[in-house]
Structure 1
Amino acid sequence: MKLFTMTAIATLAATVVTAQADDWTGYTYSAVSTTAAVKGMNRIAERVAEETGGDLTITIHLGKTLQISSEDITQATGDGIVDFAADFFFSGNVPIARVLNLPMLIENDEEWNKAYAAMEPILTEAFAEQNVTLLGGYRYPQQVLFTTFEMSSLDDLSGHKIRVTSPEQGRFVEEFSGAPITLSGSEVPTSLERGVIDGVLTASAGGAKNWHEFLPYNYRFAVNYGNSVIIANTDVFDALSPENQDVLRNIVAEEGQSITAEFLTDEETQKTAQAEAGMKITEAADGDAAVAREKLAPFWEAWANDNGPEYVEALSLVREAIGK
């Protein structure tokens, strides 16, 4: 009888432990396991399992392995289809975040850090409205021009078709008499071969890593930054113990910084490799930045006014933070 009782107690205890353990489904937009972003997400999962003693485990799924489009990751997280995610295409659900991506507004790492700090409370609230908790994120290197034609200044964009990833990037191209075109990443190589586009805005460690053979020229003019967020479904996050919430937040903060640093290192590595493979790399001409800033500054204001008072306030906060 005693043996039965002890067995029953052990079984009950095991059941309680199992019930308390959380097994989350994680997702990332990237379909390539060797990128800094995916490696970082996997490190987060490994560290969380270790540092919570197995109370929280996260299984990371690569982009396209679940029936979730890249543009719907934030929504899928809020709806509980996934519990944890990295999202680069979140601005469709949280459009005010695009303040950080306005061309020529943020021009260096110091400005980015100040601007993001100013925007973080606004972003946290905006994600919360989607039933999503913003945990952190990481940043890609600056977006520069890779082309099939040689450039010595921004004036050389005139008449050329450039693939962009946002309407704001498109406005930059238009200001220099180019034609912005929106395409998925999978369409870029064929479009370059067929002359549908003449170039792309990306990073050496980004799209150029895969498309460099079609892009013989790189003009190192930085147009804007792109960033990803790391998020969780608010319901499952709130259900964690306060201790495990802190563990997850701290790990995401640390790994977000590591992913950003790895991207910056890879940018220089890829830039060197692309030059050695024959790509002609040209530094930005003196005066181009001043001209571009002058052209785009009125657009920042118009963009904010068109979107509403909260956008005007957000832009004002960012400009005050970076002194522009």
Structure 2
Amino acid sequence: MNAKKLMMASLAVLVGTSPLSATAADKWIGYTYSAVSTTAAVKGIERVIEKVQTDTGGALSIKLNLGKTLQIGSNDITQAVGDGIVQFAADGFFLGSVPIGGVLRLPQLINSDTEWKAAVTAMEPYLKKGFEKQGAVYLGQYRYPEQVIFTNFKIESLADLQGKKIRVTSPEQGEFVKTFGGLPLNLPGTEVPTALERGVVDGVITASAGGAKNWHEFLKYNYRFGVNYFNSAVIANKDAFDALPEKAKSSLVAAVKAETDRIDAEFAADEIAQMESQKKSGMTIVGAKPADASQAAKKLEPYWSAWAKEKGPEFVEALKAVRSAIGK
């Protein structure tokens, strides 16, 4: 048994489950990477749980644990679900387990809500297959607003990224930063405030309603250039899900669909509210230059194909499906 499997087995004992099996179908353990209960995402997941418990008359109940309250790393959530350590989760850091999901995060590939919806529809078969290989059922997903650039240095164009250290959440975001001469660093969210304060990083790519909501005091400028989107999959342990009565299954699927759509809408509204709040607090907000948009798309388009080709035929196929769906 390797170190990670041993860790998962030990955690199973602490949580009260056994690896590779779910708890009783009506008593699930849930987990989210978010450590803050007031976010639109956590509130939405809590509504899913409440709706399912009501619909099933309490036959299915889920206890949600926030990030850091269980010994599950952000990058290990899908594995914990597949191993039956927890039976239900929201995972925004699933690319290590389901790398094909990276198609949706390729920089500059998807640039609007309309394109996002079409791309997600095209990707669903690939996501379902990818999570199933990990012992999990893909139920749906929500996303944060478009990821833009926040810095503690003056920024008025992408050229200003030259030589700057920028925190990213994926290798795909890192490629964007490198394309414009910056130095990407992948850090856990919990380390970002200290990294900004000590100069370990000079900026971050996130949303006003995302990371910047918590880190705004360390950030002086916001360049409203949309790099890509950050999404979170809502998943369940396959064995536990398959063991549910049909009514509970359909209730869970329907609740996730309704609430993830609502989370998206609430994040969009919060993005505007947070921008205004951050501006009033002294942050300088700069609109994206049209020339930067055309330049970025031209520079990064070859990367999409190279990225997919390097990873394999299924990635090439998935990228083709998405590009067809969004007309690119």
Q: Common fold, TM-score beyond 0.5?
A: yes
Contact 1:21/1:54, CA 8 A, preserved across alignment: no
Task: Give the deviation of 1:187 after TM superposition.
Answer: 1.7
Q: 56, 61, 64: which is aligned to 1:57? A: 61
Among 47, 51, 60, the residue aligned to 2:51: 47
Partner secondary structure for residue 76 of structure 2: helix
Give the equivalent residue in structure 2 for 1:246: 250
Query: Where do 1:99-114 residues align within 5 Å?
Result: 99-114=103-118
SS at match of 1:287: helix
The one-letter code matched in structure 2 to 1:111 is E
Determine whether 1:206 maps to 2:210: yes
User: What residue number does 1:126 align with?
Assistant: 130
Q: Is the 8 Å Cα contact of residues 33 and 92 (structure 2) preserved in structure 1?
A: yes
The aligned amino acid for 2:204 is: V
Q: Given the alignment, which residue of 279, 286, 289 partners 2:283?
A: 279
| Closer, same or farther: CA 155–20 of 1 in aligned 2, 3 Å | closer
Count of aligned residue pairs for this structure pair: 306
TM-score normalized by the length of structure 1: 0.93
**Correspondence 1:97 to 2:98:** no
Report the CA distance between 1:20 and its aligned residue: 8.5
Runs of 4+, deviation exceeding 3 Å: none
Deviation at 1:64, TM superposition (A): 1.0
The CA distance in 1 between the partners of 2:25 and 2:106, in whole Å, is: 42
Measured against aligned partners, the alpha-carbon deviations of 1:84-122 in whole angstroms (never above 9, x if no partner) come to 111000111000000000000000100000000000011
1:231 to 215, 235, 240: 235
Q: Which residue matches 1:183?
A: 187
How much does 1:151 deviate? 1.5
Instruction: Give the aligned partner of residue 10 of structure 1.
Output: none
Q: Secondary structure at the match of 2:290?
A: coil
Letter in structure 2 aligned against 1:170: G
Q: CA deviation at 1:183?
A: 1.4
For residues 144-185 of structure 1, what are the alpha-carbon distances to aligned partners after superposition, in whole Å with 9 as ceiling and x for unaligned?
000111111111111111111111111101111111112121
Residue 288 of structure 1 corresponds to which residue in structure 2?
Answer: 292
Letter in 1 for 2:145: P
1:145 to 2:175 alignment: no
SS for the counterpart of 1:298 is helix
Q: Deviations over 1:47-102 (max 9, x none)?
A: 11101111111111111111111111101101110011110001110000000000
Q: Which of 65, 78, 90 is the aligned partner of 1:86?
A: 90
Q: Match for 1:302: what amino acid? A: A
1:185-234 C-alpha deviation (Å, 9 max, x unpaired):
12212221222211100000111111111111000000000100110001
Distance (Å, rounded) in 2 between the aligned partners of 1:203 and 1:59: 28
Kept in 2, the 8 Å contact 1:20–1:55? The answer is no
What is the CA-CA distance between 1:286 and the residue it aligns to? Answer: 1.9
What does residue 270 of structure 1 align with?
A: 274
Q: Larger deviation: 189-198 or 73-82?
A: 189-198
Query: Which residue is 1:192 aligned to?
Result: 196
Counterpart of 2:262 in structure 1: which amino acid? S
Residue identity matched to 1:135? L
C-alpha separation between the residues in 1 aligned to 2:121 and 2:179?
A: 29
Q: Deviations over 1:243-283 (max 9, x none)?
A: 21111100110011111111111111100000011100000
Give the match for residue 5 of structure 2.
none
Give the residue type in structure 2 aligned to 1:265: A
**C-alpha separation in 2, matches of 1:243 and 1:190:** 47
| Equivalent-residue separation in structure 1 for 2:204 and 2:77 (angstroms) | 24
Amino acid at match of 2:33: Y
| Inter-CA distance 196–135: structure 2 relative to 1 (3 Å threshold) | same
Shift of 1:21: 6.6
Name 2:18's counterpart in structure 1. Answer: none
Correspondence for 1:169 = 173
2-side partners of 1:123 and 1:164: how far apart? 23
TM-score, normalized by length of structure 2?
Answer: 0.91
Fraction of identical pairs, as percent: 61
